Amino acid sequence: MSSNNYTNKKNLNICVILVGLPCRGKTFISNKIKTYLTWVMINCKIFNIGDYRRKQLGNVLDEFINVDSDFYNAENVEALKIRLNSYEQALDDMTKWFQTNEGVAVLDGTSSTREHRKWLLERLRKQHIEPVFVESYCDDQELINLNIQELIKSSPDKKDFNFYEEKIKNYIKVYESLNQFEDEKDYTFVKLMKMSNGLEQAVINKVQSYLESKILFYVMNLNYLKPSKVIWLSRHGESVYNVEKKIGGDSRLSERGLLYARKIPKLLKEQGFDEENQMTAWTSTLVRTNETAQYLPFQQVLPWRALNELDAGLCDGMTYEEIEEKYPEDFKERDDNKFEYRYKGGESYKDVVLRLEPVMMELERQSNILIITHQAVLRCIYAYFMNIPQDQSPWVAIPLHTLIKLEVRPYGACKVTLIKANIPAVSTYKEKGTSSVGENSDITNNSSRNLLTDSL
């Protein structure tokens, strides 16, 4: 995992340090950084200070009870010790992790004071880990309240709204934003600002390497304070090539495929989609996704070349049986490392991930998007949202004639709902080690393809 095109050994290792008051999207940003870096094959591990503090204090002494304004008072020796201990333990574990890993660590805490950040910086630099601060600064009460409500929903603590409001008030007493003009002006940081007066800015300071700028660039594209949204995914309807068991090509839809295309608007309506919603469809530039999108009551249908199916090169237009016969060794090689295997004259899943980056970045910025694309591309997109490791992503079963509803939430994993159109289609799922694909649309649960079927 450590070898990739984005880095040389000098760029690594980086520690991203979150800065900000509670309910400013820090944990969401941390999780997203990990998702993104893992997806582009850069090692990443999150060290959550809250977890360390809870471990230290025991489950009885909840962090929220102990952290009042006095907790960050430098004269409160006991609290200072606990606070530093949590960070010490996190940093110790981080050091251990860097001994056997190259990559990016994320320190998910509040790191609210200048003194504390200075201490972190010096400690990390001693170990040749480069600190990068990411601050979320927001005074927009509406956005903050929204985040508190989301936290209440997902938190096992069952705390109420007032509790979080009080907690934030206590933090505000000691909080010092990154001092971008004076003593912290030499730090590498991004300060993300969303203000009640409509100001929406990012200040980027002293970026040292490409990998750092890549991370900050990604973070800037996130809707970290309003992350809840629904993304719709679908494969194109059954194509003539699907029926003929051929891969690739640019064939039209079969009759059943056209039935599915006609049915999508109804499926969306059943899910509460309102034509008043300004939804946009993204398709590939191939005929079968465009035909699938043709009956959508949307204002915009945008074709992306980056959403085209994985290029099967020489094998384009062949059946799996033909490929196995003609290129038996390649066929086996692909099964052994499907993510990295590159079709002769074509692409690997890894290549597809690389070209999908712009789409994912744009997707992070948007809402109300329905993506109609192809099996391999959808696997890559699905792996991103569901944090599926890249060695498993090419084996995810995504059936035809099924609409996928992905609910992105600020805390916790995405929620997936599969909406079947109940229009028969061939199965295009190829089992590992065989060249046969299923005969019908019913997906049965088995080890190699249980990632999506678990949700069915």
236 is in an annotated binding site: yes
Contact 419, 412 (CB under 8 A): no
Catalytic residues: 236, 309
Pick the piece of the chain touching its own copies (CB under 8 A) from 192-200, 227-235, 257-265, 400-408. 192-200
User: Which of residues 362, 386, 392, 437 is near its own copies by CB under 8 A?
Assistant: 362
Please, what is the minimum distance in Å from the beta carbon of residue 404 to its own copies? Answer: 21
User: Which positions from 205 to 224 touch its own copies by CB under 8 A, shown as an x/- string?
Assistant: xxx-xxx-xx--x--xx---
Contact 306, 356 (CB under 8 A): yes
Contacts of 379 (CB under 8 A, 6+ apart): 349, 393, 394, 396, 398
239 is in an annotated binding site: yes
Contacts of 65 (CB under 8 A, 6+ apart): none
Please, what is the minimum distance in Å from the beta carbon of residue 346 to its own copies? Answer: 8
Residue 436 interacts with its own copies (CB under 8 A): yes or no:
no
Nearer to its own copies, 306 or 423 (CB): 306
Contact 374, 290 (CB under 8 A): no
Q: Partners of 106 in the beta sheet?
A: 16, 46
Please, what is the minimum distance in Å from the beta carbon of residue 9 to its own copies? Answer: 6
Radius of gyration for the chain, computed over Cα atoms and rounded to the nearest angstrom? 24
Please, what is the minimum distance in Å from the beta carbon of residue 186 to its own copies? Answer: 7
Instruction: Compute φ and ψ for 12, nearest 5 degrees.
Output: -90, 150
- Alpha-carbon gap, residue 37 to 35, rounded angstroms: 6
Pick the piece of the chain touching its own copies (CB under 8 A) from 92-100, 168-176, 180-188, 395-403. 180-188
Residue 180 interacts with its own copies (CB under 8 A): yes or no:
yes
Contact 59, 50 (CB under 8 A): no
User: Which of residues 73, 196, 201, 455 is near its own copies by CB under 8 A?
Assistant: 201
Kindly determine how many residues on this chain lie close enough to bind its own copies according to the rule CB under 8 A.
54
Contact 440, 427 (CB under 8 A): yes
Q: How far is CA 51 from CA 15, 57, 59, 60, 174, in A?
A: 18, 10, 10, 13, 21
User: Which positions from 324 to 353 touch its own copies by CB under 8 A, shown as an x/- string?
Assistant: ------------------xxxxx----x--
**Contacts with its own copies in 126-155 (CB under 8 A)?**
none
Residue 80 interacts with its own copies (CB under 8 A): yes or no:
no
User: Which of residues 55, 118, 169, 185 is near its own copies by CB under 8 A?
Assistant: 185
Q: Please state whether beta strands 280-283 and 189-194 pair in parallel, antiparallel, or not at all (unpaired).
A: unpaired
Q: How far is CA 377 from CA 53, 209, 307, 395, in A?
A: 41, 30, 7, 12
Nearer to its own copies, 28 or 187 (CB): 187
50 is in an annotated binding site: no
User: Which positions from 273 to 312 touch its own copies by CB under 8 A, shown as an x/- string?
Assistant: ---------x--x--------------x-xxxxx------
Q: Residue holding tokens 């002006």? A: 185
Q: DSSP code of 209? A: S
Binding residues for substrate, as ranges, are: 235-242, 288
Residues in the site for its own copies, rule: CB under 8 A? 3-11, 180-181, 185-186, 197-207, 209-211, 213-214, 217, 220-221, 282, 285, 300, 302-306, 313-314, 342-346, 351, 354-355, 358, 361-362, 365
